[in-house]
Structure 1
Amino acid sequence: MIDFIAVFIFFFAVIDPIGTVPVFIAVTRGYDAAAKRKIALIASAVAAAILLFFAVVGELLLTAMGIPLPAFQIAGGIVLFLFALSMIFGESKPEEEVRIAEAHHETAIFPLAVPSIAGPGAMLACVLLTENARFNLMEQVQTVAMMLLVLVVNLLLMLMASGVQKVIGDSGASVVSRVMGLILASVAVTNTLAGVTSYFKIGL
């Protein structure tokens, strides 16, 4: 059985539902309430489909390309770490993706579903946390359930976006995003070290 709390926090960090709120507000500016609900539902459905694809097929693709999972785990950990650093020291998720939304005037798909919800960090997390050698089928199902739960939280926050934005403001969303970046950095280092250990065990 997986550690439900740890997996939930991991996905919460990489998906960052609170950081999605200002992005959603920027993307849906000028839409009526019904249109905003539709955009939130479409974005959530698209993001869920993308992440489920990586959870189910991600490792198979790596195997087909002859890439050992420990190597991907190391690379994924490094990418996650760099992603976390960008959340901590660079533009926070809300600041960066609000700017993208305002520049491109897109709605549900870009930048809301990708990369705001189903970003590179979330895709990598789906592959790393459903590794066949480390997790049995039931544990993988549990992991996917936690991922979907975070997406549900993300959807609820989008539906309540106006109220959430009034409570935490842009600065609050930025602070939360940076805290999530710190948590993600710690998880990324753990994954990288686990990948290095697994790689040398296989080599031996």
Structure 2
Amino acid sequence: MEYLIFFFKAFISIVAIMNPFSGIPLVISLSQEYSDTEMKEIVRRSAQYAFLILLFFLFTGDLVFRLMGITLPAFKVGGGILLFLIALNLVQGEFLKERAKKHEIEAALSRENIALIPLAMPLLSGPGTITTVLVLRASIGSFYELMALICSILCAAFVAFLVLSSSTFLYNFMGKVGISLASRITGILLLAVSVQFITEGLKFLLFR
């Protein structure tokens, strides 16, 4: 039961920081340059890339901590503050635009693999998502929790694929207001997660 709880905690945290709804404007803009089939394939590959990127940081997190001499409580506080700031922007709606800017579209189209950059990174697996995975990785205490975390990353990537591959439908169905609301709700969830990370880190640093 505890592993299931950890899975849902990790899944909600990762989906909240990924916030695939924020990528809908960019995907809609890019879809004008590609067919529906091509765009769905691009989105599928971007979700796969995001999963692999996060998996890489999941298994190299301990090495990073050791090389830089970072303790788990300190990282929880620092990572929590970063996530808190990102969550505030989400709640305020600063990460959601009706359309992607012209220079963003041109920059994306100029790249050979837009599934990797900018869709997989930094959209889905940016600094905030990587930080979340590292904090969760440092918190696990058993092999089963590690498996639960891997499954949560996989499920989060799948949710991102479903959302981004349905960008046009979601935009037409939910409208700008609905998408903005969904983005703000994920921001509220992320606020709660970030405060928990900060509290856990400070509790250990101040009262150990």
Task: Give the total of aligned pairs.
Answer: 200
Amino acid at match of 1:54: F
Given that 1:43 and 1:108 are in contact with CA atoms closer than 8 Å, whether structure 2 keeps it comes out as yes
> % of aligned pairs identical?
29
Given that 2:16 and 2:187 are in contact with CA atoms closer than 8 Å, whether structure 1 keeps it comes out as yes
**Higher mean C-alpha deviation, range 28-37 or range 118-127:** 28-37
Other-structure match for 1:130: 137
Inter-partner Cα distance in structure 2 for 1:200 and 1:33: 54
Inter-partner Cα distance in structure 1 for 2:163 and 2:92: 25
Q: Does 1:111 align with 2:118?
A: yes
Aligned residue among 24, 28, 32 for 2:27: 24
Per the normalisation by structure 1, the TM-score is: 0.88
Other-structure match for 1:144: 150
Other-structure match for 1:95: 97
User: What secondary structure does 1:7 align onto?
Assistant: helix
Inter-partner Cα distance in structure 1 for 2:204 and 2:155: 30
Inter-partner Cα distance in structure 2 for 1:157 and 1:96: 16
CA-to-aligned-CA distance 1:103-146 (integer Å, 9 cap, x gap)? 523432232111211122211111111116x4212101101201
For the aligned residue pairs, the C-alpha RMSD in angstroms reads: 2.1
CA-to-aligned-CA distance 1:41-63 (integer Å, 9 cap, x gap)? 22112111111111111232111
Given that 2:84 and 2:194 are in contact with CA atoms closer than 8 Å, whether structure 1 keeps it comes out as yes
Q: Does 1:121 align with 2:123?
A: no
Inter-partner Cα distance in structure 2 for 1:70 and 1:27: 41
Per the normalisation by structure 2, the TM-score is: 0.86
Q: Does 1:190 align with 2:196?
A: yes
User: What secondary structure does 1:98 align onto?
Assistant: coil
Distance 1:97 1:70, change over 3 A: farther
